[in-house]
């Protein structure tokens, strides 16, 4: 039990996240798909149709010298739908994150949640989480608007605010100040961790999206101009479907990775033992 809270390298942090996801894969994945998949499907299909129409529009300009007005109309329509779906998708992602982070400490202690329990558990913190994420994004944007460096510093020091907001059940201001304290003196480790997680997420999502990607690669090898041509609506819908699946299955892994990074920072700065705390909470609730 003690080794769970010892400071660890990036590799061990990620291994722990994978292990916890694998141990609770069914409940986490089904919860994520139930909440995130519908919005991700709409956004994914809209994005697929938008991109295909855009490439076709650009291709028509280079090949015929005249833009295809039908493609231009599709770009406007599908782009509007994608923009409308974006806020719903972001809120759905926040809900899944709230479910995963709310349950993670108890999962570490061996508790197994049902899908219904996870959905109910996530509801209590989703609005605080959404507000925290919105404020963090705004502060990063403001910092980056002046110079790149302030934006990077704000991102680094507030990178754990969303995790803190859910795990410690604190309001936005305390989540921000807590993250600021926990991330001190760990700039390059945080950058390395974030980069590694981003690469892993990209690889995993690409693996889920491999079927549509293979078709595009084969078509491009046979005809380099194929990317600028429209493809059947069924294939575009399939691209959106796989994109939604990739997001729904991989997003919880990213949340767990940041949860374990939060544990690492607490272990280094406070020497805490969240496993014992989680187990005590379960025993009191039994």
Tens digit of pLDDT for each residue in 84-142? 888 999 999 999 999 999 999 999 999 999 999 999 999 999 999 999 999 999 999 88
Q: Which residue has the tokens 């997680």?
A: 197
- The span from the CA of 251 to the CA of 115, in Å, is 16
pLDDT at position 2: 38
- The span from the CA of 19 to the CA of 166, in Å, is 21
* 118, 31 contact by CB (below 8 A): yes
Q: Which residues of the chain have pLDDT under 50?
A: 1-7, 228, 276, 279, 286
- The span from the CA of 263 to the CA of 155, in Å, is 18
Cβ atoms within 10 Å of 158's Cβ, excluding its own: 24
- Displacement of CA 52 from its chain's centroid (Å): 24
| Burial of residue 148, with CB atoms counted within 10 A of its CB: 0-12 exposed, 13-18 middle, 19 or more buried | exposed
Q: Does an H or E element contain 204, and which?
A: helix 187-208
Which region holds residue 271: left if phi is over 0, alpha if psi is between -120 and 50, else beta?
A: left
pLDDT at position 4: 45
- The span from the CA of 261 to the CA of 245, in Å, is 25
- The span from the CA of 212 to the CA of 246, in Å, is 12
Buried b (16+ CB within 10 A) or exposed e, 79-88: bebbeebeee
């Amino acid at each position: 039990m003690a080794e769970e809270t010892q400071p660890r390298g990036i590799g061990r942090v990620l291994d722990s996240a994978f292990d916890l996801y694998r141990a609770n894969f069914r409940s986490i994945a089904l919860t994520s798909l139930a909440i995130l998949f519908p919005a991700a499907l709409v956004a994914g299909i809209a994005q697929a149709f938008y991109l295909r129409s855009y490439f076709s529009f650009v291709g028509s300009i280079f090949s015929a010298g005249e833009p295809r007005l039908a493609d231009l109309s599709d770009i406007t329509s599908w782009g509007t739908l994608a923009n409308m779906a974006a806020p719903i998708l972001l809120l759905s992602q926040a809900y899944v994150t709230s479910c995963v982070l709310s349950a993670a400490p108890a999962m570490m202690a061996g508790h197994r949640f049902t899908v219904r329990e996870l959905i109910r558990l996530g509801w209590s913190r989703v609005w605080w989480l959404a507000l925290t994420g919105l404020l963090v994004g705004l502060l990063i944007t403001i910092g980056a608007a002046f110079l790149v460096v302030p934006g990077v510093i704000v991102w680094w020091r507030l990178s754990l605010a969303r995790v803190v907001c859910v795990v410690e059940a604190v309001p936005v201001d305390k989540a921000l100040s807590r993250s600021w304290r926990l991330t001190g003196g760990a700039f390059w480790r945080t950058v390395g961790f974030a980069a590694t997680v981003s690469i892993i997420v990209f690889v995993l999502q690409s693996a889920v999206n491999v079927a549509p990607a293979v078709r595009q690669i084969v078509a491009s090898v046979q005809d380099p101009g194929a990317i600028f041509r429209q493809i059947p609506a069924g294939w575009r819908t399939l691209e959106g479907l796989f994109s939604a699946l990739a997001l729904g299955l991989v997003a919880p892994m990213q949340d767990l990775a940041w949860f374990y990074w939060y544990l690492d920072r607490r272990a280094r700065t406070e020497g805490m033992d969240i496993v014992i705390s989680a187990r005590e909470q379960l025993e009191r609730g039994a």
